[in-house]
Structure 1
Amino acid sequence: MRLPVLVFDIETLTDLKSGAHLYGLDLPEPDLDQALTKLRRQESGTDFQRLPLHEIVCISGLWIDEKGTMKLFSFSQEQYSEAEILQKFLSIFDKRNPTLVSWNGSQFDLPVILYRAMYHGLSAPSLFDQGEIDTQKRYNNYQNRYHHRHIDLMDWMAMFNGRNFQKLDDIAHLLGYPGKRGKAGYLIPEYVRNQQWLEMTSYCEADVLNTWLVYLRFLLLKGQILPEDHRLWIQATIHYLQGQPQQTEFLQVWQTCCKHTDFTSSDFSQPPQQH
């Protein structure tokens, strides 16, 4: 495994102000939201908004440093504006060049980050440079789907064929991990409206943790870590999460889900160890 690793996920809302500007609408907020949804259905047959109209309300990540030390974090609009969330996330790449890991990050998370960073007039050369500044990134950058600096697990596991794309929730469940635990992204507007920031960050962090666990299994498949290394990483993850009260439910569900497959059935039967 190439360390450091940064597993990340974003949560978004429709940017009503930008949507009103784009479509020339002058409506009260509740009517505006409905109007934008209706227009989007007419355009594409789906409620899923155009990527530039996704306002970022949370970015969560799991950082694993060169020593294997883990740090789970979230930047949300509870404390920061969208521009500040982006600045804090993008500043990571000014100092380090981690292996970036995501689920559908190349088709959603990174393009949204790009559009929203441009909207706020931010600069992020370390993340979006393709060799114009650092010539080494011509051959290994965060945008190219076949490079190794950004591993979009959904894309890689589908063998770069969109017909094979799967949901993180389904794959996590199949592999013996918690998945979304019955929660879904449509709850994000409600969380923000009701200022349920803990629920929102817990949800986003859970996606990050599921992605990390699937990534470990992916590395095992590819022979990039040995079975013993995989076991140690799982135990290190459990040990770390036991000190994270916000993820108590995730651990409890994991302890139940792991019994559904032979491979994961012993995840919690061994004393946790640090990697």
Structure 2
Amino acid sequence: MRLPILVFDIETLTDLKVGAHLYGLDLEQADLEQALAKLRRQESGMDFQRIPLHEIVCISGLWIDENGTMRLFSFSQEHYSEAEILSKFLSIFDKREPTLVSWNGSQFDLPVILFRAMYHGLSATSLFDQGESNQQKRYNNYQNRYHQRHVDLMDVMAMFNGRNFQKLDDIAQMLGYPGKRAESGYFVPEYVKQQQWQQLTSYCEGDVLNTWLIYLRWLLLKGQILVTEHQAWVQATIQYLHTQPQQQTFLEVWRETAQRTAFSAADFPIQSS
């Protein structure tokens, strides 16, 4: 395991201003949102907007340093503009070069970060360098699909075959982790509209935690950590989450979902009375 590690996830909304500009629309906000959704369905048959039209409202991460110390964090539009969120996140790579871990980060999160950073006129040399500034990144960089500087778990677990892509929620629950914690639907727009920032960051951090736990299982599969090391990392994660009030529901649901498989049941041993 190469430390430090940064597991991350982003949450987004449709950027109505950019959408109106690209499509030449002059409408009220409610009508604009509907018009952009309709146009997107006509283009692709789905509501999910094109990458450049995603405005970042939250970036969450789990940082694991060289000593194994964990820190869960979120930058959201409760306190920062999108440009400030991006600046804070990108500054991490100026100071350190962690192993980056994501779920679908290669196809969604990093491209969104790239376009939105360009939109705001930001620089992100350390994250997007492919050898122009640092020769060592010529063949091992955060964009390279087949190396380990950025591990997109959805991609590597599909053996780089798009037909095998799976949902984070499904794999997390299959392995005995909380997944979306019984939430159905996508609530991010409503969280932002109602300014329910704690629910937003908790949701985003939950995806980060699920990704981290799946990453540990991936390292075990590849023989990069032993079973005893996997158990130690899982227990360290549980102990850390006990100190995070916002993730107590995640911890409680994990205690239940862990019992679904014999292997994950060991995460929470049954206490004898």
With the shorter chain as reference, the TM-score category is over 0.9
| 1:137-156 mapped onto 2 (5 Å cutoff) | 137-156=137-156
**Alpha-carbon deviation of 1:184?**
5.2
Specify the alignment match of 1:178 in structure 2.
178
Q: What is the identity, as a one-letter code, of the residue corresponding to 2:165?
A: F
**Alpha-carbon deviation of 1:183?**
2.5
CA distance in 2, matches of 1:182, 1:39: 31
Specify the alignment match of 1:135 in structure 2.
135
Pair 1:39 & 2:18 matched: no
Q: What is the identity, as a one-letter code, of the residue corresponding to 1:71?
A: R
| 1:11-30 mapped onto 2 (5 Å cutoff) | 11-30=11-30
Relative to 1, partners in 2 of residues 1:168 and 1:107: Cα closer, same or farther, differing over 3 Å?
same
Relative to 1, partners in 2 of residues 1:259 and 1:158: Cα closer, same or farther, differing over 3 Å?
same
TM norm structure 1:
0.97
| 1:206-245 mapped onto 2 (5 Å cutoff) | 206-245=206-245
Give the gaps of 5 or more residues in structure 2: none
CA distance in 1, matches of 2:185, 2:205: 13
Query: Aligned to 1:57, what secondary structure does the other structure show?
Result: strand
CA distance in 1, matches of 2:42, 2:7: 35
Deviations for 1:65-85, whole angstroms, at most 9, x for unmatched residues? 000000000000000000000
Pair 1:259 & 2:259 matched: yes
TM norm structure 2:
0.98
**Alpha-carbon deviation of 1:186?**
2.2
**Alpha-carbon deviation of 1:266?**
1.6
**Alpha-carbon deviation of 1:149?**
0.2
CA distance in 1, matches of 2:220, 2:34: 46
CA distance in 2, matches of 1:28, 1:106: 34
CA distance in 2, matches of 1:121, 1:52: 14
**Alpha-carbon deviation of 1:144?**
0.9
**Alpha-carbon deviation of 1:185?**
6.3
Q: What is the identity, as a one-letter code, of the residue corresponding to 2:161?
A: N
Specify the alignment match of 1:90 in structure 2.
90
CA distance in 1, matches of 2:163, 2:262: 29
**Alpha-carbon deviation of 1:265?**
0.7
Deviations for 1:25-79, whole angstroms, at most 9, x for unmatched residues? 0000000000000000000100000000000000000000000000000000000
Q: What is the identity, as a one-letter code, of the residue corresponding to 1:73?
A: F
Query: Aligned to 2:30, what secondary structure does the other structure show?
Result: helix
Specify the alignment match of 1:249 in structure 2.
249
Pairs aligned (count): 271
Give the gaps of 5 or more residues in structure 1: none
RMSD after superposition: 1.0
Specify the alignment match of 2:69 in structure 1.
69
Deviations for 1:186-234, whole angstroms, at most 9, x for unmatched residues? 2101000000000000000000000000000000000000000000000
Percent identical among aligned pairs is: 77
Q: What is the identity, as a one-letter code, of the residue corresponding to 1:218?
A: W
Q: What is the identity, as a one-letter code, of the residue corresponding to 1:49?
A: Q
Deviations for 1:123-162, whole angstroms, at most 9, x for unmatched residues? 0000000001100000110001101100000000000000
**Alpha-carbon deviation of 1:182?**
2.6
- Provide runs of 4+ in structure 1 moved above 3 Å: none
Relative to 1, partners in 2 of residues 1:121 and 1:98: Cα closer, same or farther, differing over 3 Å?
same
